[in-house]
Amino acid sequence: MIKKYGTYLALLLAGLIIGYLLFGTGSGIDTHANSTNVEVATHWTCSMHPQVNKTEKGECPMCGMALILIDVSESSLGPDQFQMSKNAMALADIETTTIGIDNMTDNSLLLSGVITSNEKTDAVQTTIFDGRIEKLNINYVGQYVKKGQQIGVIYAPEMYAAQDKMLTSSSYQDTHEKLWAAARNTLSLWRMTDEQVEEVIRTGKPIANFPLIADVSGTVTEVVASEGKFYEQGDPLYKVSNLYTVWAVFDAYENQLPFLNMGQEITITSKAFEGKRLEAKVSFIEPILDTSKRTVLVRVTLSNKEQLLKPGMFVQGAVKVKSADQILTVPKSAVLWTGKRSLVYLKPDPNRPVFEMAEVTLGNVIGNSYAVIDGLTPGDEVVVNGTFTVDAAAQLQGKKSMMNRMIDGDHKGHTIEGDSSGLDFDDGFQEHFSKIIDNYIELKDALVATDVKKSTSKTQVLLEELDRLEIGMLNDMARSHLEKIKESAIRIVETDEIEEQRKQFKPMSEHMVAIASTFSNLDRPIYVQFCPMADGNKGANWLSFEDKVLNPYFGDKMLTCGSVTKTIE
**What 3 state SS string does 33-95 have?**
HHHHHHHHCEEEECCCCCCCCECCCCECCCCCCECEEEECCHHHCCCCEEECCHHHHHHCCCE
Residue length, the chain?
569
In terms of Cα–Cα distance, which of 147, 124, 127 is closest to 229? 127
Q: How far apart are CA 137 and CA 307, in angstroms?
A: 23
Regarding pTM above 0.85, the answer is no
Mean pLDDT of 195-210: 80
pLDDT recorded at residue 552: 92
Q: What are the two backbone dihedrals, phi and then psi, of residue 147, each rounded to the nearest 5 degrees?
A: -60, 135
Predicted confidence at residue 414, as pLDDT, reads 31
The DSSP code for 120 is: G
**What integer best gives the mean pLDDT of the chain?**
77
Provide the pLDDT for residue 192: 77
Distances (CA, A) of 189 to 183, 194, 354: 11, 11, 85
Per residue in 332-357, pLDDT tens? 888 887 655 788 898 888 888 888 88
Least confident of 443-447, 457-461, 563-567: 563-567
**Which residues are CB-neighbours of 510 under 8 A, at least 6 positions away?**
336, 337, 484, 541
- Is 2.40.50.100 the CATH number for 121-241? yes
Contact 46, 67 (CB under 8 A): yes
Q: pLDDT, tens digit, for every residue of 290-327?
A: 776 677 899 999 988 888 888 888 888 888 876 544 56
- What SS3 class is residue 317? strand
Residue 381, number of CB atoms within 10 A of its CB: 16
Q: What is the mean pLDDT of residues 91-108?
A: 68
Residue with the bigger pLDDT between 144 and 292: it is: 144
Work out the pLDDT band at 471, boundaries 50, 70, 90.
Answer: low
The DSSP element (H or E) to which 315 belongs, if any, is: strand 314-320
| pLDDT at 76 (0 to 100) | 60
Sorting pLDDT into bands at 50, 70 and 90, what band is 478?
Answer: confident
Report the relative pairing of strands 230-231 and 540-544 from DSSP bridges: unpaired
Q: Which residues contact 323 (CB under 8 A, 6 or more apart)?
A: none
- Beta-carbon contacts of 143 under 8 Å, excluding residues fewer than 6 positions away, are 219, 220
| CB-CB contact of 556 with 450 (8 Å) | yes
Q: Which amino acid is at 39?
A: E
CATH fold, domain 109-118+243-320, is: Elongation Factor Tu (Ef-tu); domain 3 (2.40.30)
Q: Is the pLDDT of residue 47 over 60?
A: no
Contact 339, 517 (CB under 8 A): yes
Q: Which of 63-77, 155-169, 513-527 has the lowest mean pLDDT?
A: 63-77
One-letter amino acid identity for 338?
Answer: T
**Mean pLDDT, rounded, for 402-423:** 41
Instruction: Flag whether pLDDT at 7 surpasses 70.
Output: no
Asked whether the beta carbons of 70 and 113 are under 8 A apart, the reply is no
Poorest-confidence range of 16-30, 423-437, 474-488, 515-529? 16-30
Whether 101 contacts 327, CB under 8 Å: yes
| CA dihedral (532, 533, 537, 542) positive or negative | negative
Could you report the per-residue pLDDT of 232-286, keeping only the tens digit for each? 888 898 888 888 889 999 988 776 777 788 999 999 988 888 788 899 999 999 9
Q: Which residue has the higher pLDDT, 311 or 536?
A: 311
CB 263 within 8 A of CB 280: no
**Residue 562 predicted with pLDDT over 90:** no
User: How far is residue 5's CA from residue 7's CA, in Å, rounded to a whole number?
Assistant: 5
Rounded CA separation 174/346 (Å): 100
- Domain boundaries defined on the chain: 2-77, 109-118+243-320, 121-241, 427-568
- Report the pLDDT averaged over residues 24-53: 46
Question: Does pLDDT of 146 surpass 80?
Answer: yes
Side-chain half-sphere CA neighbours of 399 within 13 A: 21
> Residue 268, class by beta-carbon neighbours within 10 Å (0-12 exposed, 13-18 middle, 19+ buried)?
buried
pLDDT tens digits, one per residue of 359-386: 888 776 666 777 787 788 888 889 988 8
Identify the pLDDT of residue 337: 76
427-568 CATH, one of 2.40.50, 1.20.58, 1.20.120, 1.10.3470: 1.20.120
